[in-house]
Amino acid sequence: MIDAVSLKYEICEGLDERLDGQLNDKASGIYATFYSIGMILAPIIGGPLFDAINYRGTCDFLGLCFILYTAFYFVFNVGISVFKQDKIIK
């Protein structure tokens, strides 16, 4: 995440310690937030899903969700940038 932001905004690491610290703090905060949200939502969603369709059905349903999420991510994030021309830095 830090490398992507550094490349997009042309930030050179090591030149401004304050900016590097802020970037690292924000990346760490985003990671911790999503990790915590996953730890909270997993039992809330997984428990009723397990009760409704058993273990095998839960695994199949979540696998399908991950495949759809991956396809959605690829089409709208990676797929569009495949057709862009990169800037040549001299």
The DSSP output letter for 86 is P
Residues of the domain holding 68: 2-82
- Domains of the chain: total: 1
Token pair of 83, please? Answer: 């057709």
Q: Is the pLDDT of residue 89 over 80?
A: no
Q: Is residue 24 part of a domain?
A: yes
Q: Is residue 22 part of a domain?
A: yes
Please enumerate in sequence order all residues whose Cβ is within 8 A of that of 14, keeping only pairs 6 or more positions apart, or say none. Answer: 20
Q: What is the pLDDT of residue 39?
A: 96
Q: Is residue 10 part of a domain?
A: yes
Q: What is the pLDDT of residue 3?
A: 87
The answer to whether 23 and 2 have CB atoms below 8 angstroms apart is yes
**Rg of the chain over all Cα atoms, to the nearest angstrom:** 19
Backbone angles phi, psi at 12, to 5 degrees: -95, 120
Q: Is residue 88 part of a domain?
A: no
Percent of the chain with pLDDT over 70: 88
Give the tens place of pLDDT for each residue, 42-86. Answer: 999 999 999 999 999 999 999 999 999 999 988 888 776 666 666
Q: Is the pLDDT of residue 31 over 60?
A: yes
Q: Which residue has the higher pLDDT, 15 or 82?
A: 15
Whether the model pTM is above 0.85: no
